[in-house]
A and B are shown apart, each in its own frame.
Chain A
Amino acid sequence: MTSHRSYDAIVIGGGHNGLVNGAYLAKSGLRTLIIERRPIVGGAAITEELIPGFHFTTFSYALSLLRPDIIHELELTNHGFMPIQMPSMFAPMEDGDYLLMGTDRNTNLKEIARHSKHDADAMDQYEYDMAQVCQALKPLVDAAPPNIFGNDPEDALQLADLARRLKSLPSRVLQNCIRLLTGSSADFLDDYFESDILKGWLASSSIIGSKVGPRSQGSGLVLLFHNLGEHDGHFGSWAFHKGGNGGFTQVLARAAQAFGAEIVVDTPVSHVITSNGRVTGVALGDGTELKAKVVVSSLDPRRTFTQLVDPAELPSELNDSIRRFRFQGTSAKVNFALDDAPRYPTLGDRTDQYRGFTNIGPSMDYLERAYDDAKYGWYSKRPYIDACIQSLVDPDMAPPGKHVMSCFIQYAPYHLKGSDWDTERQAFGDTVQATLESFFPGFSDLVLHREVVTPLDIERVVGLSEGNIFAGEFLAPQMYFFRPAPGWNQYRTPIDGYYQCGSGTHPGGCVSGGPGKLASQQIIRDLARKG
């Protein structure tokens, strides 16, 4: 039950972007309501105690893309914000060898040199080049993009500023930007490295969440996007939040409430109410109508434009753009409760190598073959797995000595050829478990519980269309000027007072909060203009 019948702003969806958006709106003095359909806020960033003592990061599982200004502006450190450094990255190999990277540069270089002396030297150059690209593009991530299809002189100024900014870059940096934005990660990485294991690890960031293989044009953009994340000022660095990403969204919820936002859960929204081309409120699933002069959808573009409002109210060009907007989720999760940490034979009884990501993608060939299956409509026979045993970093995630292991899986295409996910769920889980067993003999004996989360589950539970974790593919024609549609990349919609703030808007998916924040700025500016 809401405390009022009328609000200045209603945010539909209590995922991380909805919470960020609502927090900023409340901070600006608006009476703000955030409505969540499920019993908990967090959207795809939730932590659930599926069996007593074991806390699963059901969907999203690590933090890096979170925009640093949000941490400060929403005063998250006052509400329990705690990104715990990932001290290592472990990449097992099929021959029993491995690549174990830490935070110490020199040790890393020696570890890479075990595989290739050439690559050890190239790593510094790669990291330097990538940091320069990230530094150049970061301001673009943190500002609303110009609308190049409109007539607002401000957009023209912003575009000129963008051109000036790009022109000021050293030619090599600009060329690297374009290579990454348009090319394949394989082409980019092949320029620097020769070692399969190193390239397999680095290329893994270029496929996550996307229906591309490392040799697909467009995988460079995904690689770049993931490197734009940062932890304590280091690009491409990741952290586990205390309590998982659900712990993080609880922090956001507390911050939003501290600024005065009201949050209701277990409250489905039926539709957005409009009158004469402008928003007047929302209708809840139980028929209750709430009034608001601003309504913000944090749902993905398909749901924002085809389900919450009547497409008849929208220009047909926008409807067509949304129809063509690609989702095609290809990611799944398989989460385990474990009796003990798995052992990697070469490392004996050691388990400290699992305190960051464990990357099962030992070569670009491995990743590309995994993608081959998806191209033809099936899940990978030997999938790419990004595993995290968060309980080794945050002991509150599992009982002492026991563990939770989150496994992000690719590829798992939403549309299966000749079958469906309800049929294939356990067979898919078995495939993942068998892959883990092949790297960690005895793994299956440690499994106390297994949770298989298919793309269909992601869609059903979280509401992300086709289970796309980014609320829409990271494809060049779906980014920046075009996210989610040409002319509608500035969080507004054709309906006056109706806004979008989900990951389907700029800068895109991952737990960045960027869309939520940038949308709030647009809303606050528009309200100020209207007086």
Chain B
Amino acid sequence: MVMTTPFHERLAPLNETHLWSHWSGYLSAVKYQMADKFEYFAIRNAAGLIDTSPLYKYRISGRDAAKFLGAVLARDIGACRDGQAQYTLWCDERGYVVEDGVVIRFAADDFILTSAEPNLAYFQKLVGYDQVEITDVSADYGSLAVQGPRSRDILAGLDPQIATLGFFHHTPAKIGNVPVHVSRTGYTGDLGYEIWVGADGAVEMWDALSEACVGQGVLPVGQSALLMTRIEAGLVLIGVDFHSSRFAFNDYECSTPLELGFAWMFRDLASSTRRFIGRAAIEREIADKSSRWKMVGLMVDWREWDRHFGEAGLIPPKDETPVVYEMMLYDDDGARVGYTTSFMYSPMLQRHIAMARVQPQLAAAGSKVNLELTINHRYHTVAAEVRRPPLFNPARKTA
């Protein structure tokens, strides 16, 4: 039976569309407003409230917690201090990505790690230390993302210490009378925060937050708008932009961190002896330059897009919500050089954009590829330019 999140009793009446999807076994609004782009603009123009409670949350605690995470996570957990959080990955021994998530460090012996998929048995199997306890606390907390340019002022009005919270930092705070934890993290590529609250206090916290949002242009935001913003932000999604190597039937279904654009996580390897699952394979990949792909952003040539549809007698469509199938990429000689993993029309950039994988020689910004699509049941290719993600990256995100 599908479950509801701790915020559901407040969110359900707000869902004008009655469109719900299922996210990890929970009801999750597709969109609240009848209008298709209004929630998206709330994030870019004011702030959006996104119920992310269905995320899996694991508490990793004990004297050896940091050692355990250091051995499992590909990014150096040693660089994550108390009060900080990290976007991170975990890989298999072949250097393929298992999954990604955000790890929050409360203390050297106390962390929370989020993930989109269940990982408890997987992590427990990897524990080689005595003093580590991994607990699935997913249902104990609600999480609510507050994302958009107004998020800081709204939250700082509720608890002033949030005003100075740095990018990927977190702090205990109070919203109304409810103790919460606030991290400056999110999945929209904008200025934004996530509030972690005990499930029992979620509704009370929501009410206090809602009151602070009155007159601020804030809207509850469903998955549809969230998935648009995450593509603009160049943030990968499991099951779409990559797949877990745990369940891959062949190597085509696997990705390395370098192929996903995370080479920056390994800049320390030359000077560090930290050991983690997949290190040897990743070092080999770096040394041999053996990555098959590079994750890039694409900006589709608007003139060609309009021309192809115009010549076909059609009004060029400019409202694609994210499409989940792969679109092939070719070079000018017609050789296949990559594929898109996420494709959409960006209202902020006024262009069709994509997250894509291209062969490494085409990964430099400014490279040209040709995107295949069908118009009137025939294949056409439209030029696209390679850009370094994120395609939308406002200064306020980290400021």
Contact = CB atoms under 8 A, between A and B. Distances in A.
Interface centre among B34, B44, B216 (most CB of A within 10 A): B34
A268 interface: no
Given A82-B44, A233-B315, A242-B45, A395 B34 contact: no
Binding site of B, secondary structure by majority: helix, strand, loop or mixed?
A: loop
A69 B301 CA distance: 12
A355 B303 CA distance: 32
A400 B215 CA distance: 4
Contacts of B303: 69, 72
Contacts of B35: 85, 87-88, 102-104
A458 to B, nearest CB: 29
B217 A395 contact: yes
Interface stretch (B98-106, B169-177, B343-351, B373-381): B343-351
Contacts of B306: 68
B334 interface: no
Contacts of A82: 44-45, 348
Interface string B20-48: 00000000000001111110010011100
Contacts of A87: 33-35, 37-38
A476 B350 CA distance: 33
Interface string A13-42: 000000000000000000000000000000
Nearest to B212: A400
B215 A85 contact: no
Interface residues of A, number: 33
Contacts of B216: 395, 400
Interface in A129-143: 131, 135
A107 interface: yes
Nearest to B306: A68
B302 interface: yes
Interface string B294-323: 000000001100100000000111110000
A165 to B, nearest CB: 12
Contact of B34 (A76, A102, A233, A242): A102
A81 interface: yes
Contacts of B316: 233
B40 to A, nearest CB: 8
A442 interface: no
A85 B38 contact: yes
Contacts of A235: 315
Contacts of A77: 348-351
B150 A395 contact: yes
B61 to A, nearest CB: 41
A84 interface: yes
A400 B348 CA distance: 24
Given A87-B33, A87-B34, A401-B214, A81 B315 contact: no
Nearest to B39: A87
Contacts of A104: 34-36
A113 interface: no
B318 A232 contact: yes
Contact of B347 (A85, A103, A131, A393): A85
Nearest to A356: B35
B375 to A, nearest CB: 14
B320 to A, nearest CB: 10
A131 B315 contact: yes
A234 interface: yes
A71 B347 CA distance: 12
B45 A84 contact: yes
Nearest to A88: B35
A341 to B, nearest CB: 10
B347 A232 contact: yes
Contacts of B150: 395
A81 B351 CA distance: 13
A394 interface: yes
A394 B38 contact: no
Contacts of A71: 350
Contact of B318 (A72, A76, A233, A400): A233
B286 to A, nearest CB: 34
Interface in A82-138: 82-85, 87-88, 102-104, 107, 131, 135
Contacts of A392: 217
A392 B306 CA distance: 33
Contacts of B317: 233
B187 to A, nearest CB: 21
A179 to B, nearest CB: 21
B33 A81 contact: no
Contacts of B36: 85, 103-104
Contacts of A84: 41, 45
A234 B316 CA distance: 9
Contacts of B302: 68, 72
Contacts of A88: 35
A342 B297 CA distance: 45
A395 B38 CA distance: 13
Contacts of B34: 87, 102-104, 107
Interface string A225-249: 0000000111100000010000000
B217 to A, nearest CB: 3
18 contacts: A72-B351, A77-B348, A77-B349, A77-B350, A81-B350, A82-B348, A83-B347, A85-B35, A102-B35, A104-B34, A131-B315, A135-B315, A232-B347, A235-B315, A395-B45, A400-B215, A401-B214, A402-B215
Given A71-B350, A77-B349, A104-B34, 18 more contacts: A68-B350, A82-B44, A103-B35, A103-B37, A104-B35, A107-B34, A135-B315, A232-B318, A232-B345, A232-B347, A233-B315, A395-B46, A395-B215, A395-B216, A395-B217, A399-B215, A401-B215, A402-B215
Interface of B: 33-38, 41, 44-46, 150, 214-217, 302-303, 306, 315-319, 345, 347-351
**4 smallest A-B Cβ distances: which pairs?**
A233-B318, A87-B35, A400-B215, A395-B217
